[in-house]
Structure 1
Amino acid sequence: MTTEVLALGSDYWSDLGRGVSAIALYAIVGLVLMVLGFYAIDWTTPGHLRTLVREGRPNAAIVTSAGMVSMALIIVLAIYASSGRLVEGLIYTLVFGLLGIVAQVFSVRFIELVTGIDIGEVLAEERFTPEVLVVAAAHVALGLIVAVAIL
């Protein structure tokens, strides 16, 4: 009968520390990009988006949610594309995230113009209006496009 000794590999603690550091750094960069993305959407959208969301306007909440999901897609693919290289991954995430914010804001505003959607009016509505789905879909679609372009 043999006795197996459970032992941690010699690199265990350094690998664990590197992983924890990566999570913390990506979380910080991701949070900063999400906040910047929100403010970019708010700044380019008629009305105060944060106030409309706080007031419970469903269309404002839908557009904000779609913008956040879109931004998260871009961030996740930038992290994935870094292939475990932390410094390069953080730079990819930051650069592609900022580019994604700019592309998303301008593209969604253009889609609103082409479709004739008055987003200011839609966001201020107290009830759900179907036009908001077009804007939300544009946010998610553009997030997917930018995210896949990263690969």
Structure 2
Amino acid sequence: MNTLALSETFGSDLVRGIGAILLYGVVGLFLMFIGFYAIDLTTPGKLSQLVHRGLPNAVLVTASGLLSMAFIIVVAIFNSASDLTGGLITSLVYGLLGIIVQVVAVRLLEWATRIDVGHTIEQEKFQPVSVVVAAAHLALGLVVAVAIS
């Protein structure tokens, strides 16, 4: 007769895994908040207010900025150290550094292309140049994420 048996460490491994998911979730959420506020502080205008007003360019730029931050955070967590404490610290440090590099790189690219982001995101009607800003966020987010790996 075959019996299915769980390993002796199944319960403790399961609890440890659940704890790791929760802790990495907290680190990821914290980094997303930091990333949003970094974008908000370095972008002309108050993004959260412009998004709430439903301004399409502000929504596009903010959404792409958040996605770019998520790329960075996901890669930082994925490439973190194998032990939980080291992994959390590595994720936090790489995530924060990645956010800083992302914000600076996007602002430099906007400066180099002479895009007036403040004017663009405050427009009531869709402005095609907002797609360029969104693409810059996503592209640079991917570059920074790969640099972390």
Shorter-chain TM-score bucket reads: over 0.9
- Counterpart residue identity of residue 54, structure 2: G
- The answer on whether the counterparts of 1:77 and 1:148 sit within 8 Å (CA) in structure 2 is yes
Match of 1:128 in 2: 126
Q: Judge conservation of contact 1:112–1:119 (CA < 8 Å) in 2.
A: yes
Computed over aligned residues only, the root mean square deviation of the Cα atoms, in angstroms, reads 1.2
Distance of 1:37 and 1:82 partners within structure 2: 19
What one-letter code is carried by the residue in structure 2 that aligns with 1:137? A
Structure 1 residues 69-88: aligned runs within 5 Å: 69-82=67-80, 84-88=82-86
How far apart are residue 19 of structure 1 and its match?
Answer: 0.9
Q: Of 47, 50, 72, which aligns to 1:49?
A: 47
Q: How many positions carry a matched residue from both structures?
A: 149
- Quick one: distance in 1 between partners of 2:148 and 2:44? 30
What displacement does 1:83 show?
Answer: 5.3
Give the match for residue 18 of structure 1. 16
In 1, the alpha carbon distance for the partners of 2:64 and 2:95 equals 15
- Indicate if the aligned counterparts of 2:81 and 2:90 stay in contact, CA closer than 8 A: no
Matched, 1:141 2:139: yes
**Structure 2 stretches lacking a partner, 5+ long:** none
Alignment partner of 1:119 is 2:117: yes
Secondary structure at the counterpart of residue 84 of structure 1 = coil
Instruction: Select between 3-12 and 79-88 the one with higher mean Cα deviation.
Output: 79-88
After TM superposition, the score normalised by the length of structure 1 is 0.93
Gaps of 5+ in 1: none
Aligned mates of 1:74, 1:122 — CA distance in 2: 25
Percent identity over the alignment is 56
Give me the whole-angstrom Cα distance separating, in 2, the residues matched to 1:14 and 1:84.
17
Question: Scaled by the length of structure 2, what TM-score is found?
Answer: 0.94
Query: CA offset at residue 82 of structure 1?
Result: 2.1
